[in-house]
Amino acid sequence: MGANFSSCVYDDGDSGSMRPRLGDIPESCVALVLMYLDPPDICKLAGLNRAFRHASFADFVWESKLPLNYKFIVEKAFEDDIGSSVAELGKRDIYARLCKHNLFDNGTKEIWLDKRTGGVCMAISSKALRITGIDDRRYWNHISTEESRFHTVAYLHQIWWLQVEGDIDFQFPQGTYSVFFRLHLGRSSKKLGRRVCKTEHIHGWDIKPAKFQLTTSDGQRAVSHTHLDSPGHWILYHVGNFVSKNSNDLMNIKFSLTQIDCTHTKGGLCVDSVLICNSSDVRKEV
């Protein structure tokens, strides 16, 4: 079978040979095959020849990879340039742009698609969260850092009552989603080109666990309790999962981080963002 396939794909050097070659496959047939491949594989095969390259631009190929409610996502991701330029984009170009990290809501939120699966991922900056005491510099301040996709994090010096809340209204494509807080104990910086982490403010996290909570507008709820640890490392703390049953339903997702035991203070915490992503696209790396 392998020999027969090879003879169909490659010319054996005989100028009189009439055997079909890969380039003889009609573009429409190639496009039908590409529909069943993952986006990275489609892009690789596009380099084989002209037929594969042209077929890889077929709208119906990429529309099958886009979320069912991709038009809603496009409005969010391209809110600054919605108009004729976006309307003229082909489905492949829309998919490529959505796979980039797109800021919206005055740069406090970011949305993108997983390149391989097309799953929706979203990050919400600390500046879009409601943090008790954030305006009092005795407790909190915003610091610039290259370690955040938003280039800034909220840093806690010391407080008795920790309460960080947020919410988002969004049409999530059908599927199961995971919610995480991205946190870091200690304040990192660069010194002589090397990363260093100041830990002198870290205290109070080993006494009692922090509480993470998630609720949705359709009644779903998740609660977890976790001790914050691993100073010097960014950690994704799992809040919980929720299920979107209809891609066209506008869901309100609320999430929170609290540690309100006032018998002791706690400090030395960086709050970067909240991450929401399709559970099949969760990565261990942060």
What is the CATH number for 251?
2.60.120.260
Give domain status of residue 177, yes or no: yes
Last residue of a domain, one of 63, 90, 110: 63
Give domain status of residue 99, yes or no: no
Give domain status of residue 16, yes or no: no
Please state at what angle helix 70-77 crosses helix 91-98, rounded to 10 degrees. 60
Give domain status of residue 184, yes or no: yes
**Amino acid 18: pLDDT:** 65
Q: Are residues 127 and 56 in the same domain?
A: no
**Amino acid 7: pLDDT:** 40
Q: Which domain, by its residues, includes 182?
A: 120-278
Q: Are residues 139 and 266 in the same domain?
A: yes
**Amino acid 191: pLDDT:** 83
- Please measure the distance between the N-terminal and C-terminal CA atoms of the chain and give it in whole angstroms: 45
Q: Are residues 151 and 247 in the same domain?
A: yes
Give domain status of residue 176, yes or no: yes
Q: Are residues 58 and 125 in the same domain?
A: no
Give domain status of residue 83, yes or no: no
Would you say 126 and 225 are in contact if contact means Cβ atoms under 8 Å apart?
no
C-alpha to C-alpha distance for 72 and 63, rounded to whole angstroms: 14
C-alpha to C-alpha distance for 126 and 11, rounded to whole angstroms: 60
Q: Which residues contact 167 (CB under 8 A, 6 or more apart)?
A: 252, 253, 254, 255
Total number of domains in the chain? 2
Q: Are residues 56 and 130 in the same domain?
A: no
pLDDT in tens, the chain (286 residues): 444 434 434 444 454 456 767 767 788 888 888 888 889 898 888 888 888 888 888 999 999 999 999 999 999 998 766 555 666 789 999 999 999 999 999 999 999 999 988 999 999 999 999 999 999 999 999 999 999 999 999 999 999 999 999 999 999 999 999 999 999 999 998 888 888 899 989 999 999 999 999 999 999 999 999 999 999 999 999 999 999 999 999 999 999 999 999 899 999 999 999 999 998 877 644 4
Give domain status of residue 198, yes or no: yes
Q: Are residues 274 and 148 in the same domain?
A: yes
- Cα angle 52, 113, 176 (rounded to 5 degrees) comes to 120
**Amino acid 10: pLDDT:** 43
Q: Are residues 39 and 180 in the same domain?
A: no
Q: Are residues 44 and 150 in the same domain?
A: no
- The token duo for 286 is 């942060």
**Amino acid 4: pLDDT:** 43
Side chain identity, residue 124: I
Give domain status of residue 20, yes or no: no
**Amino acid 46: pLDDT:** 86
Side chain identity, residue 180: F
Q: Are residues 271 and 187 in the same domain?
A: yes
Residue indicated by tokens 């992503």: 277
CA-wise closest residue to 99 among 68, 69, 66: 66
Q: Are residues 55 and 190 in the same domain?
A: no
Q: Are residues 172 and 260 in the same domain?
A: yes
Q: Are residues 248 and 136 in the same domain?
A: yes
